[in-house]
Structure 1
Amino acid sequence: MKRLFIALTIIICTQQVSAQWLTRERVQNLQNFDKPRLSWGYILGFNSYDFNFDYAADASQTDIQVEQSFVTGFNVGLLGNLRLNDYLDLRLEPMVTFSQRNLTFTNPDFNNAAEGFREVKSTYIHVPLLLKVSTKRLNNFKPFIVGGISTSLNLSSNQDNPEDNSVGTFRMKDQTSYYELGFGIDFYLYYFKFTPSIRGVFAMSDELVRDNDPESPYTSTIDKMSTRGIFINFTFQ
Structure 2
Amino acid sequence: MQTFNLWHKLNLYWNKVILFGLAILISFQASSQVYEQENLPNYDNDLIHYGFYLGGHTANLKVRYNEAYLSNQFDSLHSVIPESAPGFTVGFIFNLRIAQYLDFRTLPGVGLYQYTLNYNTYDRAEEVTYQGKKEAFYAELPLLLKYKSQRRKNFRAYMIGGAKPSFEVSGKRPSEINEDVLLINTFNLALEIGFGIDIYYELFKFSPEIRFSRGLTNALFERQNSYSSPINELVTNSVSIYFQFQ
For normalisation by structure 1, the TM-score amounts to 0.79
Superposition deviation, residue 120 in structure 1: 2.0
Q: 2:213 pairs with 201, 213, 223, which one?
A: 201
Aligned to 1:225: 234
Aligned to 1:11: none
Please give the residue correspondences for 1:26-175 in structure 2 after superposition, counting only pairs within 5 Å.
Answer: 26-59=36-69, 60=72, 61=77, 63-69=79-85, 72-108=86-122, 113=128, 116-155=130-169, 156=171, 158-165=173-180, 169-175=181-187
Q: Which runs of 4+ in 1 moved over 6 A?
A: none
In structure 2, C-alpha distance between the alignment counterparts of 1:131 and 1:164, rounded to whole Å? 41
In structure 1, C-alpha distance between the alignment counterparts of 2:36 and 2:100, rounded to whole Å? 20
Alignment check: 8 A CA contact 2:60 2:116 kept: no
Superposition deviation, residue 211 in structure 1: 4.6
Structure 1: runs of 5 or more not aligned: 1-20
Superposition deviation, residue 40 in structure 1: 0.3
Alignment check: 8 A CA contact 1:46 1:231 kept: yes
More strand by share: 2
Superposition deviation, residue 33 in structure 1: 1.0
Aligned to 1:12: none
Between structure 1 and structure 2, the one with the greater Rg is 1
In structure 2, C-alpha distance between the alignment counterparts of 1:46 and 1:56, rounded to whole Å? 33
Structure 2: runs of 5 or more not aligned: 1-31
Aligned residues: CA RMSD: 2.4
Aligned pair count reads 206
In structure 2, C-alpha distance between the alignment counterparts of 1:67 and 1:57, rounded to whole Å? 23
Superposition deviation, residue 182 in structure 1: 0.3
Superposition deviation, residue 102 in structure 1: 2.9
Superposition deviation, residue 109 in structure 1: 5.4
Once the two structures are overlaid, the 10-residue window that deviates more, 192-201 or 148-157, is 148-157
What letter is aligned with 1:152? S
Alignment check: 8 A CA contact 2:134 2:184 kept: no
Superposition deviation, residue 53 in structure 1: 0.7
Q: Deviation string for 1:184-215 (max 9, x for gaps)?
A: 000001211000001011111111125544xx
In structure 1, C-alpha distance between the alignment counterparts of 2:172 and 2:142, rounded to whole Å? 19
1:226–1:29 Cα change, 3 Å = same
1:219–1:176 Cα change, 3 Å = same
For normalisation by structure 2, the TM-score amounts to 0.76
Matched, 1:186 2:198: yes
In structure 1, C-alpha distance between the alignment counterparts of 2:106 and 2:224, rounded to whole Å? 38
Task: Give the match's secondary structure for 1:106.
Answer: strand
1:191–1:62 Cα change, 3 Å = farther
1:66–1:44 Cα change, 3 Å = same
